[in-house]
Amino acid sequence: MSAAVILQDVCKVYNNMPVVNHLSLEIQPGEIFGLLGPNGAGKSTTIRMLTTLTKPTSGRIAIAGFDVARDQFRVKQQIGVVLQQMSVDVDLTVWENMEFHGRMHHIPNPRRKREIDRWLEYVELSDRRDDLVKTLSGGMKRRLQIARALLHQPQILFLDEPTVGLDPQTRRRLWEIIKGLNQQGMTMLLTTHYMEEVEYLCDSTFGKSAVPNRIGIMDSGRLIALGTLQELRHKHGEGLVMKQEGDRWNYQFFPTLDEAKAYFEQQPNKAGMMVRPSNLEDIFVELTGRNLD
């Protein structure tokens, strides 16, 4: 089975400055791939190249077997995109937004009507189909964006910070929608600033293809870490000893939690110290030296 997304030695240069620097990566069909990185790491530029909005300076990108540089029309047929910025027309109704998108993709009736009904029901917006989008909450608008992105039956869904600015309950509901899509076999690339979002969606395999979900960490345009959450924790350490020094915490990784506990117990002065399992944020800070902004 060929990869759903392929990047081979991809570079993007602006004003003689490399924003994406020799990036090579494959995403398998049915995988949720979480892409992390601090601001300026190159995530957004990577998403823009993958979705045909920006041309790479060099390298090759293929989506569902189609070259992004040569087959942009075919690539656009294979992808759905949910951007951080609100991209639905607030002066149209929910139905009109879906109808317009369906016509743009030349989906014929009556299939277009069936697909609109199907996806509005899936994201729980059937009862708001005749309402102007400007009257919807932020979470409803984001659910409409997801429904619209799925209307033309794409193979791959790109989610660029899909839950930013939403309340915790709404975020959790969107996670369930995303997880449900993956269970149906949808391939996804997710960027987010919420570590718990990546841990939840990429921690295990949801899809029927049983493909392991992975996490990639970018910094300064390069991919500096890649693997499942379990692989990253195993590589960098599953146990953590924290020690407070002034107003800062120092972190020391150990291969296992038991080894971290043993080290902790050996310390003559345990004041300001604690031991716990490591998490994705610990690994991110260890690798990049900073938190997500």
Q: Is residue 129 part of a domain?
A: no
Which pLDDT band, with edges at 50, 70 and 90, does 197 fall under? very high
Residues 152 and 257 both lie in one domain: no
Residues 164 and 43 both lie in one domain: yes
Which pLDDT band, with edges at 50, 70 and 90, does 208 fall under? low
Q: Which residues is 63 bridged to in the sheet?
A: 5, 66
Q: Is residue 233 part of a domain?
A: no
Residues 271 and 145 both lie in one domain: no
Q: Does the pLDDT value for residue 101 go beyond 90?
A: yes
Mean pLDDT of the region 105-112: 94
Residues 173 and 269 both lie in one domain: no
Residues 65 and 154 both lie in one domain: yes
Q: Is residue 27 part of a domain?
A: yes
Q: Does the pLDDT value for residue 293 go beyond 50?
A: no
State the CB neighbour count (10 A cutoff) for residue 234: 13
For the segment 129-179, what is each residue's pLDDT rounded down to a tens digit? 999 999 999 999 999 999 999 999 999 999 998 888 888 998 899 999 999
For the segment 17-33, what is each residue's pLDDT rounded down to a tens digit? 999 999 999 999 999 99
Q: What is the DSSP string of the chain?
A: ---SEEEEEEEEEETTEEEEEEEEEEE-TT-EEEEE--TTSSHHHHHHHHTTSS--SEEEEEETTEETTT-HHHHHHHEEEE-SS--S-TTSBHHHHHHHHHHHTTPPTTHHHHHHHHHHHHTT-GGGTTSBGGGS-HHHHHHHHHHHHHTT--SEEEEESTTTT--HHHHHHHHHHHHHHHHTT-EEEEE-S-HHHHHHHHSS--STT-PPPEEEEEETTEEEEEE-HHHHHHHH-SEEEEEEETTEEEEEEESSHHHHHHHHHH-S--TTEEEEE--HHHHHHHHHSS---
At 220, which amino acid appears? Answer: S
Q: Is residue 127 part of a domain?
A: no
Residues 180 and 52 both lie in one domain: yes
pLDDT at residue 205, rounded to an integer: 58
Which residues are CB-neighbours of 89 under 8 A, at least 6 positions away?
Answer: 96, 97, 100, 133
Q: Can you tell me the distance from the alpha carbon of 155 to that of 62, in angstroms, rounded to the nearest whole number?
A: 13
Residues 192 and 252 both lie in one domain: no
Residues 62 and 147 both lie in one domain: yes
Q: Is residue 101 part of a domain?
A: no
Rounded (5°) CA angle 82-281-279: 115
Residues 143 and 218 both lie in one domain: yes
Q: Is residue 287 part of a domain?
A: no
Q: State how many domains the chain has.
A: 2
Residues 244 and 216 both lie in one domain: no
The residue segments making up the domain with residue 154 are: 5-89+139-226
Q: Does the pLDDT value for residue 124 go beyond 70?
A: yes
Which pLDDT band, with edges at 50, 70 and 90, does 193 fall under? confident
pLDDT at residue 211, rounded to an integer: 83
Q: Is residue 107 part of a domain?
A: no
Token duo for residue 259: 């080894």
Residues 164 and 243 both lie in one domain: no
With tokens 């600015």, the residue in question is 165
* CATH number for the domain that contains residue 37: 3.40.50.300
Q: Is residue 220 part of a domain?
A: yes
pLDDT at residue 86, rounded to an integer: 83
Residues 222 and 242 both lie in one domain: no
